[in-house]
């Protein structure tokens, strides 16, 4: 993939999260990586997702985080995306939003519990929440520290980042990712959907408990396990 194609895909993905209602104005960003080329492309700072054009997208080195292509300043969250790509080698796309329900859980500093199969289709358990950032982290390289605390949350719990493709940053909002850009956008949509459903579930019954482990496993494995059978098989040679 060349940088032109990558920038086009990232522009489309940013417009998609706006169309899905996950972001307002410039409150969010999407990046996509081309690991073979050693770069990722990301929305520029302060530009509305809904109006993003490919030529505005900024290309950044996966080696050292420097801008290698683009005339605009990259998103202020670029160090967060950079650290996630460096920490999770299997991911190819990262999405950050301030979608209302997921952000509400983040501000409450609560993980999103897995109450049912809608959630289990995308996450093999709760959507975790990070610890609050320390004053020195916020006062220092804040955006890099945000990436570090997300990676710590996933790695310290021994979670597979592709089985838990997102996290809530305490008092901030959701980050989601995936094996590629399309999957990252889908997971960002899923985070908001399950955040809303979990909120409504607790509004109906505050005593609701988590889904049974065997039902969680069945729903997750049928889409993501080694013998997955959900959806259509890929055509030969794809």
Catalytic machinery residues: 121, 230
Query: Which residue bears the tokens 């709760």?
Result: 126
| Closest alpha carbon to 173 in 142, 136, 146 | 146
Q: CB count, 10 Å around CB of 176?
A: 31
**Cβ-based burial of 233 (10 A; exposed 0-12, middle 13-18, buried ≥19):** exposed
| Closest alpha carbon to 118 in 23, 42, 199, 191 | 191
Q: Are strands 67-69 and 93-97 parallel, antiparallel or unpaired?
A: unpaired
């Amino acid at each position: 993939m060349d940088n032109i194609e990558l920038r086009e895909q990232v522009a489309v993905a940013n417009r998609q999260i706006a169309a899905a209602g996950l972001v307002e104005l410039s409150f969010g960003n999407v990046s996509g990586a081309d690991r073979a080329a050693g770069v990722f492309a990301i929305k520029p700072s302060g530009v509305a997702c809904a109006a993003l054009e490919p030529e505005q997208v900024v290309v950044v080195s996966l080696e050292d985080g420097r801008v290698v292509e683009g005339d605009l300043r990259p998103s202020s969250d670029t160090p967060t995306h950079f650290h996630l790509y460096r920490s999770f080698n299997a991911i190819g796309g990262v999405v950050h939003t301030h979608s209302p329900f997921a952000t509400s859980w983040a501000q409450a500093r609560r993980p999103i519990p897995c109450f049912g199969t809608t959630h289990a289709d995308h996450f093999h358990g709760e959507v975790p929440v990070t610890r609050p950032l320390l004053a020195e982290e916020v006062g220092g390289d804040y955006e890099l520290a945000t990436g570090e605390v997300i990676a710590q949350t996933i790695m310290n719990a021994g979670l597979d980042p592709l089985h838990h493709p997102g996290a809530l940053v305490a008092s901030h909002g959701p980050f989601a990712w995936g094996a590629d850009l399309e999957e990252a956008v889908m997971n960002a949509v899923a985070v908001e959907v399950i955040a809303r459903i979990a909120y409504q579930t607790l509004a109906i019954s505050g005593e609701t408990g988590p889904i049974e482990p065997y039902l969680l496993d069945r729903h997750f494995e049928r889409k993501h396990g080694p013998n997955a059978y959900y959806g259509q098989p890929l055509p030969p040679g794809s």
